[in-house]
Homo-oligomer: A and B are copies of this chain.
Amino acid sequence: MKNHLPTIKEIAKELNISISTVSRALHDHPSIGLRTKTRVQELAKKLEYEPNQTAIFFQQGKTFTIGVILPELSEAFFSSAISGIEDAAHKSNYTVLMGQSHDSVEKEKQLIDTMKKHRVDGLLISISKNTVNYEHFEALQRYKIPIVFFDRIPKIPNIHYVACNMVNGTVQAINFLFTKGHRIIGMINGPEKLPASKDRLDGYIQAMTKSRLKYDPAMVLNCNLSRESVSAATEKLLTGKRKPTAIVTFNDYVALDAVQQAQKMKLKINKDICFVSYANLPLSNYTAYPPMASVEQFPYLQGQKATETLIELLQQKSSEETDNVNATYYKIILESQLVVHNGK
Q: Which residues of A contact B (CB under 8 A)?
A: 3, 5, 50-55, 57-58, 61, 63, 65, 73-74, 76, 79-80, 82-83, 86, 90, 95-100, 102, 110, 114, 116-119, 143-144, 227, 253, 256-257, 260, 263, 282-283, 285-288, 323
Chain B residue at minimum C-beta to C-beta distance from A107: B90
Check if B97 sits within 8 Å of A99, measured CB to CB: no
Query: A57 contacts which of B5, B57, B143 (Cβ < 8 Å)?
Result: B57
Count this chain's copies in the assembly: 2
Chain B residue at minimum C-beta to C-beta distance from A117: B53
Check if B286 sits within 8 Å of A256, measured CB to CB: yes
Q: List B contacts of A80 (CB < 8 A).
A: 74
CB distance from A242 to the nearest CB of B (A): 28
Q: List B contacts of A76 (CB < 8 A).
A: 74
Complex Cα distance A198/B78, Å? 32
CB contact under 8 A between A97 and B95, given known A58-B57, A74-B79, A323-B3: yes
Q: List B contacts of A57 (CB < 8 A).
A: 54, 57-58
CB distance from A184 to the nearest CB of B (A): 27
Complex Cα distance A63/B54, Å? 8
